[in-house]
Amino acid sequence: MTTHAPTTAFVLTAIGDDRPGLVAALAAAVDEHGGNWVDSQLALLAGKFAGIVQVDVPDERAQSFLDALSVLADEVGLDVEATAAGAPIDAAPHSALRLHLLGQDRTGMVREVSSALRSQGATIDGLRSWTREAPEGGGMLFEAEAEVRLPADADEDGVREALETIAAELMVELELDAPE
């Protein structure tokens, strides 16, 4: 029987000017302290590398791990903040929707959609958005994809109605369906 040492879960946020080796440096710090890279989302935005990473580190090495993170800024130009992970997501029954939005770019779109979701008790588990040129010189388009979690007692039709109302006001195309 194998026993596992107690671990501390951290959520790391990292940002730095994009260049080769940033992920490798962060992964090395995790590995050198006996840590486990659990989950991550990494992206290149406006010339900056940005990421969020969940790691588990043995309790007895947690402080030395945090110390090692602080030197990554000087060594490779990666600023990393560590926060103790929160409680696991409530496993209560829920339903999920995948949202896709496309329309002319204008200010306030994310605010309007997220407010409509909040009004229905929905939680955004993931959101990716971007802009792109519209065909034939039609200006800029805004596009977003989101994974939305609804509480068990949520009225899915009510959520759809709230989002369709916003889509009509914003004059955007909105697709809602079950996640794949």
Q: Are residues 61 and 108 in the same domain?
A: no
Between residues 110 and 1, the one the model is more confident about: 110
Q: Which domain, by its residues, includes 75?
A: 7-84
Query: Quick check: is 2 in a domain?
Result: no
Q: Are residues 100 and 51 in the same domain?
A: no
Query: Quick check: is 134 in a domain?
Result: yes
- Give the residue among 45, 56, 58, 47 at the shortest CA–CA distance from 12: 56
Query: Quick check: is 119 in a domain?
Result: yes
**In total, how many domains does the chain have?**
2
CA–CA separation, 130 vs 44, rounded Å?
12
pLDDT tens per residue, range 53-101: 999 999 999 999 999 999 999 999 999 999 998 876 666 667 889 999 9
Question: Given this model, what pLDDT does residue 92 score?
Answer: 62
Question: Given this model, what pLDDT does residue 153 score?
Answer: 83
pLDDT tens per residue, range 125-171: 999 999 999 988 888 999 999 999 998 888 888 888 999 998 898 88
Long-range contacts for 24-31 (Cβ within 8 Å, ≥24 apart)? 25/72, 25/75, 25/76, 25/78, 26/51, 26/53, 26/72, 26/78, 26/80, 29/65, 29/68, 29/69, 29/72, 30/55, 30/57, 30/65
Q: Are residues 57 and 106 in the same domain?
A: no
Q: What is the CATH number of the domain that holds 51?
A: 3.30.70.260
> Which position has the token pair 């004059």?
171
Question: Given this model, what pLDDT does residue 180 score?
Answer: 72
Query: Quick check: is 30 in a domain?
Result: yes
Question: Given this model, what pLDDT does residue 155 score?
Answer: 82
> Which amino acid makes up residue 131?
T
C-beta atoms surrounding 68 within 10 Å: 18
Of the ranges 8-12, 50-54, 92-96, which one carries the lowest mean pLDDT score? Answer: 92-96
Q: Are residues 121 and 55 in the same domain?
A: no
Question: Given this model, what pLDDT does residue 143 score?
Answer: 95
Question: Given this model, what pLDDT does residue 3 score?
Answer: 54
pTM tops 0.75: yes
